[in-house]
């Protein structure tokens, strides 16, 4: 392994989030999560996650660190070996990491990758004819990309599936809650979404538009694109609120941008409801104090759901028969002042004790598709 990309490879048990965050700040771009039994067993299934983000929040949000953390918890649940390679939001570094992974003498059983900056087809081609099976998560391929390389298990037999969040349904749920809190007032909406080249950014914006069309109420004043960070969103929110003083709803496509939007609202003392399509530890107090009206929890479970599917697939239960090779999961939950404290305790403080085995069709045979939801995790605590 190239030491410029992946310094020390660490074997560790999962430990509390704060300690993990401090540990990762030393700059390691690779982590290996494994249970004691997995370390001892040479036959434990191995998974490498090509994480396009950072190991800690560097101003662009906690999505990728939290995704990796929950994948580690799921790995411990199922006795899988998980190695995470962090690309630090540099898609060229991610391509280099994929190339070096493809060059290893021994490949992992499974590779999880993301279509970040639409790089997935190039990475998929690196592993053609190889033993590793690939699962794509979070960002699906575009229609144009699928026309080019085909769909799962067609020309690329090693690409066994894609797991994404139903962004449009989740964002509609967020807007429904914002409309509820707004009451009888006519909605005047501005939005801040992420990079135009990121599929989920456009899907979240589409969810807002679709909801407003279905509701027959309100006017979308403007949608702007941002870099997923707090400072840029704050400055753009100030411009939007000055341009449209009639605004009463401002939504953002991740928690970092929502925090920037909230700061702008507070600075201008504007009577505006702020909603986020995602949630983070440091926005919990804003929700509990009703400063932020609503967030959606939790996109970063997508990696843990993928680990459930891979564990079942490895044991002979193919998820393609339970929802298809292209799984679009509707699991996002409304987080507001009523449940923010419980959510924080369960998802952040007690995350290492979450039991993902309850979602396994292999361990818990049942008919129908997979039913991933935060409800059983929260109700079991």
pLDDT for position 116? 92
Q: Tell whether the model's pLDDT for residue 304 goes beyond 60.
A: yes
Q: Tell whether the model's pLDDT for residue 210 goes beyond 90.
A: yes
CB-based contact 325:153 (threshold 8 Å): yes
Q: Tell whether the model's pLDDT for residue 12 goes beyond 50.
A: no
Binning pLDDT at 50, 70 and 90, where does residue 161 land? very high
pLDDT for position 35? 45
Non-local CB neighbours of 18 within 8 Å, separated by 6+ positions: none
Q: Which two tokens stand for residue 218?
A: 């309100």
**What's the average model confidence in pLDDT over 65-79?**
96
Q: Tell whether the model's pLDDT for residue 196 goes beyond 50.
A: yes
Of the given ranges (256-270, 300-314, 333-347), which has the lowest mean pLDDT? Answer: 333-347
Q: Tell whether the model's pLDDT for residue 227 goes beyond 80.
A: yes
Please indicate whether the domains covering 11-165+299-332+339-379 and 167-297 agree at the CATH topology level: yes
Q: Tell whether the model's pLDDT for residue 315 goes beyond 90.
A: yes
For 343-372, the pLDDT digits (tens) are 888 888 899 999 999 999 999 999 999 999
Residue position matching structure tokens 């609120």: 241
Binning pLDDT at 50, 70 and 90, where does residue 325 land? very high
**What's the average model confidence in pLDDT over 161-173?**
94
Q: Tell whether the model's pLDDT for residue 21 goes beyond 70.
A: no
Mean pLDDT of the chain: 88
CB-based contact 333:298 (threshold 8 Å): yes
CB-based contact 4:25 (threshold 8 Å): no
pLDDT for position 260? 95
Binning pLDDT at 50, 70 and 90, where does residue 380 land? low
Per CATH, the number for 167-297 is 3.40.50.2300
pLDDT for position 347? 85
Show me where the domains of the chain are located: 11-165+299-332+339-379, 167-297
pLDDT for position 2? 43
Of the given ranges (10-24, 63-77, 202-216), which has the lowest mean pLDDT? Answer: 10-24
**What's the average model confidence in pLDDT over 277-293?**
77
Tell me whether the omega of the peptide bond preceding residue 359 falls within 30 degrees of 0, making it cis.
Answer: no
Residue with the bigger pLDDT between 152 and 379: it is: 152
For 85-134, the pLDDT digits (tens) are 999 999 999 999 999 999 999 999 999 999 999 999 999 999 999 999 99
Q: Tell whether the model's pLDDT for residue 72 goes beyond 80.
A: yes
pLDDT for position 19? 35
Strand-by-strand arrangement of the 81-86 sheet: 11-12, 30-33, 81-86, 46-51, 110-114, 133-137, 159-165, 326-329
Binning pLDDT at 50, 70 and 90, where does residue 262 land? very high
Residue with the bigger pLDDT between 33 and 80: it is: 80
CATH architecture for residues 11-165+299-332+339-379:
3-Layer(aba) Sandwich (3.40)
Measure Cα distances from 255 to 63, 121, 151, 193, 299 in Å: 9, 29, 32, 11, 11
pLDDT for position 82? 98
pLDDT for position 4? 39
pLDDT for position 59? 75
- By DSSP bridging, strand 294-297 and strand 333-335 are antiparallel
Residue with the bigger pLDDT between 285 and 3: it is: 285
């Amino acid at each position: 392994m190239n030491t410029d990309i992946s310094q020390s490879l660490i074997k560790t048990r999962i430990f509390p989030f704060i300690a993990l965050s401090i540990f990762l700040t030393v700059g390691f771009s690779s982590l290996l999560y494994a249970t004691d039994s997995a370390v001892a067993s040479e036959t434990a299934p191995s998974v490498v996650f090509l994480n396009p983000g950072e190991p800690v929040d560097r101003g662009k949000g906690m999505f990728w660190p939290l995704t990796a953390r929950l994948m580690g918890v799921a790995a411990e649940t199922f006795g899988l070996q998980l190695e995470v390679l962090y690309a630090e939001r540099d898609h060229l570094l991610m391509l280099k990491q994929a190339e070096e992974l493809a060059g290893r003498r021994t490949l992992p059983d499974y590779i999880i990758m993301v279509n970040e900056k639409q790089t997935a087809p190039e990475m998929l081609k690196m592993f053609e004819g190889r033993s590793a099976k690939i699962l794509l998560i979070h960002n699906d391929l575009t229609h144009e990309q699928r026309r080019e390389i085909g769909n799962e298990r067609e020309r690329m037999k090693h690409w066994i599936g894609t797991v994404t969040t139903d962004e449009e349904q989740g964002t509609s749920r967020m807007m429904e809650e914002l409309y509820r809190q707004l009451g009888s007032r006519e909605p005047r909406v501005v939005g801040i979404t992420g990079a135009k080249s990121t599929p989920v950014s456009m899907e979240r914006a589409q969810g807002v538009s679709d909801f407003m069309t279905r509701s027959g109420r309100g006017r979308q004043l403007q949608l702007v694109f941002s870099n997923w960070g707090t400072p840029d969103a704050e400055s753009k929110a100030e411009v939007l609120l000055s341009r449209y003083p009639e605004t009463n709803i401002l939504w953002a496509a991740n928690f970092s941008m929502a925090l920037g939007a909230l700061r702008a609202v507070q600075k201008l003392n504007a009577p505006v409801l702020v909603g986020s399509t995602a949630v983070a530890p440091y926005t919990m107090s804003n929700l509990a104090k009703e400063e932020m009206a609503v967030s959606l929890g939790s996109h970063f479970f997508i990696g843990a759901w993928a680990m459930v599917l891979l564990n079942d697939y490895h044991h002979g239960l193919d998820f393609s028969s339970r929802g298809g090779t292209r799984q679009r999961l509707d699991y996002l939950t409304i987080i507001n002042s009523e449940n923010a404290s419980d959510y924080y305790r369960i998802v952040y403080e007690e995350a290492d004790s979450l039991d993902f085995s309850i979602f396994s069709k292999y361990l818990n045979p049942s008919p129908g598709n997979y039913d991933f939801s935060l409800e059983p995790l929260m109700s079991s605590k």
